[in-house]
Chain A
Amino acid sequence: MARRAQPLGAALPLGLAAGALVLALSLGTLGAVAWRAEGGTGLSPADWAAIRFSLLQAVLSAGLSCLLAIPVARALARRRFPGRGLLITLLGAPLILPVIVGVLGLLAVFGRNGMLSAVLDPFGLGPVNIYGLHGVVLAHVFFNLPMATRLILQGWLAIPSERFRLAAALGFGPGDVARRLERPMLREVLPGAFLVTFLICITSFAVVLTLGGGPRATTVELAIYHAFRFEFDLGRAALLSLVQFGLCAAAALLALGAALPTGFSGGLDRPLARWDADSSVLRLQDAAVLSLAAGFLMVPLMLVVVRGLPGLADLPPAVWQAAGRSVAVALASAVLCVGLALPIALAATRLGGARGAALQGTGMLAIAASPLVMGTGLFILLFPVANPVALALPVTALVNAAMSLPFALRALTPAVAEAARSHGRLADSLGLRGLARLRLVTLPRLRRPLGFVLGLAAALSMGDLGVIALFADPDQATLPLQLYALMGAYRMEQAAGAALLLLVLSLGLFWIFDRGGRVNAAL
């Protein structure tokens, strides 16, 4: 192949440096924890039980999320109705929802004292019990169904409309369309959607903590937490973290053949013209599916709002200060995330082939990393040279940025590749390089995915409790930490208000950035 080596400019060293930083944050911190450990105890039977439970709940959660997402995505793909765009936008909400807020909302609906139990009570049924494996799975479906739906909906929209026209011309019924067009697409899209959901669920921590219902429901991440907290067994924590990397790597290898879903963002508002799904039965079916999904996802959020409003008025100043800190950390984390993701995406695209994939894979490592190990490792690494507590907020921003990186790379890399494909040669021939290229070509061409990534990283950071809890000093408390502090001080009404504030800020930050990427974005 006579492809000319293009001048790589600063993208390659920056990309490699960003990759190295991610590597240090994920595996380097693990190494630091292992190095500091004084002899490990190995894995106990309880740890093996945790590994089994992690796998079980992740398989169930991912399977159910994808299975339920199919009818929802199909209904969205083939129906046009007022509010369809809004519904698709709202589908983005649970992914970026702070877990603690989502769990509070789910309890308000599915708890023993929740809405569902109240509805069932007159019939002599209930109360509903949400605690246990089924509750964990329910919560994971709540958080991940929307993302699975979006990924699968993209598959539907990627089927060229001409094929549906051809199908109509040939007189295909819904069954024929499913067999000839939809199932082949699902076979391609589902493994990737399953993998992403599986990876998110297997490292689950906060959901399992609150809804697990007892020691049977222990995930590996939770076992890592216990290793730190109860035994202060750094060796076991590092070992368990390695196991978690192994599980994620195995899952990724199993699904290697599957094309990973690319975009989390962008153009889902195009409805498909369909001629095969006009029967009233199918219409009713789709309407029912969409109503159920919307209800399942939106009612918990509405209850968080309703319950939070009374407490919002008299939130103590400390909560507002914490909110300010959280926003600052979220903004820094968003910028850092893009600062890591963009060079990696650019360098990976330039490198291409196996080396590009390896660099991108490095960036993805964080999805399998334990924030607890990352935080503790950073503490061990920083303590000899600086006061980790004084650095709590910057460290939190950095770790949160790393945790958002896998999503950022999945959204950015295809856009970078597309920009290189469509305008890379033009820019090369005009001699656009370095900062001028970044300013005049790269950033404007990537505005939409960048807006999405900034919003996502900010929102995910906003709701994160993980690493700050290790470093925290109450003077530096973030909003989720403050929310726990309020709950810990018997102040439930204010905690509900803080939860609402957290919800509004997370969704608001996402909306502002995502919107900023779209408004006036010329194509």
Chain B
Amino acid sequence: MLRFDKVTIRQGDFSLSADFTVPAGRIVALLGPSGAGKSTLIDTVAGFLAPDSGRILWQGTDITPLPPAARPVSVLFQDNNLFPHLSVAQNVGLGLRPDLRLSADQHAAVSAALHRVGLQDLERRKPAALSGGQRSRVALARMLLRARPVMLLDEPFAALGPALKADMLRLVAELADETGATVLMVTHDPGDARAIAQDTALVDGGRVAPPRDTGTLLADPPPALRAYLG
């Protein structure tokens, strides 16, 4: 399980606190207005920001002192998830070895991962020659190969159309299910939460509320969430 133990993060005047636990294998949506601190929380789990106090624990181990790459997490950013000068296969291969010196088995694993996300014929393409949805699939394929138990999604599909976004969310849910991964996904759209997240946590007013069952929460939103949903 992923535990936020009295975590506070301060950035200038802004501060965010979180104190809750996410059971392993759950998909949790972080819902809230822009500027509320959703991405800040993701960056802290990923290791790009250090909390000012408190700890983040994975399966009982404190991961706060670890550098980003050593944490049990994979991240999908809002954009720039692929290196534009590397091919699709190379971008995915980075998930196995950062120096790209891949063995034959690892090459096969790259192909299999691309196959899984439906990009089997595009290994040699550069990202510029892909559609937005295809780029997301490449990033997901790499995530699959990294096989980290926690997946962090910082609104990576925000620029996609509704149908494509739905496809991607479904793929995320499938991959999480296949690998047993825990997912934290940022969104400002309650529809996304409804689509795949069992639980939803409201981020507002400098605090991350403990996650609750998505259906119950959205059916009877507390005042802050009601104000946000309008």
A–B: direct contact at CB < 8 Å: yes
Cβ of A279 under 8 Å from chain B: no
Residues in chain A near residue B52, CB distance under 8 A: 2
Question: Contact at A432–B74, with CB atoms within 8 Å?
Answer: no
Looking at chain B's contact residues, is the secondary structure mostly helix, strand, loop, or mixed? loop
Question: Contact at B70–A429, with CB atoms within 8 Å?
Answer: no
Question: Contact at A436–B100, with CB atoms within 8 Å?
Answer: yes
Question: Contact at B83–A4, with CB atoms within 8 Å?
Answer: no
Residues in chain B near residue A431, CB distance under 8 A: 68-70, 98
Question: Contact at B86–A429, with CB atoms within 8 Å?
Answer: no
Query: How many residues in A have their beta carbons less than 8 Å from beta carbons of B?
Result: 29
Contact with A along B64-93 (1 / 0, CB 8 A): 000111100111010011011110001000
Contact with A along B22-48 (1 / 0, CB 8 A): 000000000000000000000010111
Select A1's contact among B11, B80, B85, B86, beta carbons within 8 Å. B11
Question: Contact at A1–B12, with CB atoms within 8 Å?
Answer: yes
Question: Contact at B94–A428, with CB atoms within 8 Å?
Answer: no
For B94, give the chain A residue with the smallest CB separation: A430
Contacts A426-B77, A433-B98 given; does A441 touch B83 at CB 8 Å: yes
- A432 to B84 alpha-carbon distance, docked (Å): 16
Interface residues on B, range: 35 or more
Cβ of A86 under 8 Å from chain B: no
Q: Smallest Cβ distance from B109 to chain A, in angstroms?
A: 16
Contact with B along A424-449 (1 / 0, CB 8 A): 01101111110111011100110100
Residues in chain B near residue A447, CB distance under 8 A: 85
- A5 to B49 alpha-carbon distance, docked (Å): 8
Select A432's contact among B73, B94, B128, beta carbons within 8 Å. B94
Select B68's contact among A423, A428, A440, A444, beta carbons within 8 Å. A428
Question: Contact at A425–B77, with CB atoms within 8 Å?
Answer: yes
Residues in chain B near residue A2, CB distance under 8 A: 9-11, 44, 49-52
For A440, give the chain B residue with the smallest CB separation: B100
Question: Contact at A432–B98, with CB atoms within 8 Å?
Answer: yes
Cβ of A281 under 8 Å from chain B: no
- A2 to B8 alpha-carbon distance, docked (Å): 10
- A296 to B15 alpha-carbon distance, docked (Å): 60
Looking at chain A's contact residues, is the secondary structure mostly helix, strand, loop, or mixed? helix
Cβ of B105 under 8 Å from chain A: no
Additional pairs, 11, CB under 8 Å, beyond known A2-B49, A4-B48, A430-B95: A2-B10, A2-B44, A428-B69, A430-B98, A432-B69, A440-B90, A440-B100, A444-B83, A522-B84, A522-B128, A523-B128
Question: Contact at A430–B128, with CB atoms within 8 Å?
Answer: no
For B67, give the chain A residue with the smallest CB separation: A7
Q: Smallest Cβ distance from A522 to chain B, in angstroms?
A: 5
Cβ of B165 under 8 Å from chain A: no
Question: Contact at A426–B69, with CB atoms within 8 Å?
Answer: no
For A436, give the chain B residue with the smallest CB separation: B99
Q: CB within 8 Å of B: which of A377-428?
A: 422-423, 425-426, 428
For A425, give the chain B residue with the smallest CB separation: B48
Question: Contact at A430–B69, with CB atoms within 8 Å?
Answer: yes
Question: Contact at A444–B94, with CB atoms within 8 Å?
Answer: no
Contacts A430-B98, A440-B83, A440-B94 given; does A4 touch B49 at CB 8 Å: yes
Residues in chain A near residue B49, CB distance under 8 A: 2-4
Contact with B along A458-477 (1 / 0, CB 8 A): 00000000000000000000
Of B85, B94, B126, which is in contact with the most chain A CB atoms at under 10 Å from its CB? B85
